Structure formats: structure tokens, C-alpha cells
A and B are shown apart, each in its own frame.
Chain A
Amino acid sequence: AQSVTQLDSHVSVSEGTPVLLRCNYSSSYSPSLFWYVQHPNKGLQLLLKYTSAATLVKGINGFEAEFKKSETSFHLTKPSAHMSDAAEYFCVVSGEHGGSQGNLIFGKGTKLSVKP
């Protein structure tokens, strides 16, 4: 069965410093992995996705994530945080057949705060 663990419930950085949001996954299939972002009082927006092509995936707004099979990780990074990056981020896994039920399996989320 697939699962995903976001290692930090809350991350705080200063504007202009790097962002690292950590995610580990478990999957019995070759997984598809996603990062979604949710700004306050908004819906979910796809940041980036890994589907067995390049292991380094570039997303929107300067974010990227690296798929590391040996470490079962898919950490999200950004070189320089911006105030507008403050949001909640979800790491999501889907198996070869879309998860056990054809759905996505969400981590519990990491809330990113950005200080001026």
C-alpha cells in the first residue's frame, strides 16, 4: 500500500533564504509523486509532478523536487523564499494504478511561513 510522510508540520524561513520541505513515500509500485500548494482560503494548485521521467522535476514559481528512489524521498526545494510562498504544501503519492482506489494519497501537509 502507498503512503506518504511529510516530516515537518511547520517550516519557517526568512525571505530570500532557501526552502526545504521534506517528504518520504512508500509504494509497492513505481510511484507518481506530486506536490500541491494551498494558499490561505484557496483550493489546491499543482506545483509539480514526477512520473518516471527526469528525477529532478521543475515546477512553477521556482520550486523543484528531486526523486530519490534509494532514499524513498521527494523533497521540495526553492533557492530563495518569497513572501508569497507562505502557504500549506502537500506531498502526494499515486501508484501505478492510481493508488489502491484510483485516488491520490495525501501527506498531512507542511505549513510554510516566510518572515520578512
Chain B
Amino acid sequence: DADVTQTPRNRITKTGKRIMLECSQTKGHDRMYWYRQDPGLGLRLIYYSFDVKDINKGEISDGYSVSRQAQAKFSLSLESAIPNQTALYFCATSDPGLAGGLGNEQFFGPGTRLTVL
């Protein structure tokens, strides 16, 4: 079973609709992240959470919100979707306590492809 799962894997929606993307992990990591990927731009950070009570904005948080329901779950919401939010969205996790200085390695889910018409 995958350690980091994302649902749905694909979603097509219309402008103005509210959308929620979900991420679950079985790695037991405290830190979770949401990124979006656009062609030619790499991955850009939307929000991140270092534990259940800690939520932080990333580079491109406008138009998005998040909820950390539990250590294992981190959801991304688009309150009113717009076409330029069409992208591939990735959830990731990390554990700062990993030995050997590897605590900043991140583990990625398979991605959610979102299309906003």
C-alpha cells in the first residue's frame, strides 16, 4: 500500500465551484505539505503544516485553504475555483527526526490532476 495517498486522482470542475483535495499518510510523519506543479515552473509550495495545530502559508497560498484534521490527514480546498488553478497538485510528508540529517527529505503522493473549466 502507498504511504502517501491522494484523492481524487483526477477532477474536472467548473469555475466558482468549491473543491477539496485530500491527502492521507501512513508514515507517521508530523510534517505535511501541499504543492502545485505547472509546466516549466517546477513545484511551488501552497501550504505546509508541522503538526496538527500548526498551519503556515507557502509561496502561493492565495485562493487556497487547508485543514489538518489529524496527524495523518491534510486537506486542500479551493473555495471558488478559477481556471488558472488548473494544475497537478502534490501532497508530501517529512519527518525532522529521521537519522543521518535526512529529516528534510520529503515523500510525495501520486498527485491530483485538477482541471477548472
Contacts and interface: CB of A to CB of B under 8 A. Distances in A.
Interface stretch (A12-20, A38-46, A58-66, A73-81): A38-46
A107 to B, nearest CB: 6
B49 to A, nearest CB: 10
A103 B101 contact: no
Given A51-B100, A51-B102, A103 B48 contact: yes
Contact of A107 (B42, B56, B105, B107): B42
A8 to B, nearest CB: 13
A109 B31 CA distance: 24
Contacts of A52: 101
B90 interface: yes
A98 B94 CA distance: 10
Given A51-B102, A90-B42, A102-B31, A43 B48 contact: no
A40 to B, nearest CB: 12
18 contacts: A32-B104, A43-B109, A44-B43, A45-B108, A46-B107, A49-B105, A51-B101, A51-B102, A90-B42, A98-B94, A98-B96, A98-B104, A99-B104, A101-B48, A102-B31, A102-B50, A108-B41, A108-B42
Given A43-B108, A106-B43, 12 more contacts: A32-B102, A44-B43, A46-B107, A51-B100, A90-B42, A94-B104, A101-B45, A101-B48, A102-B104, A103-B58, A104-B104, A108-B40
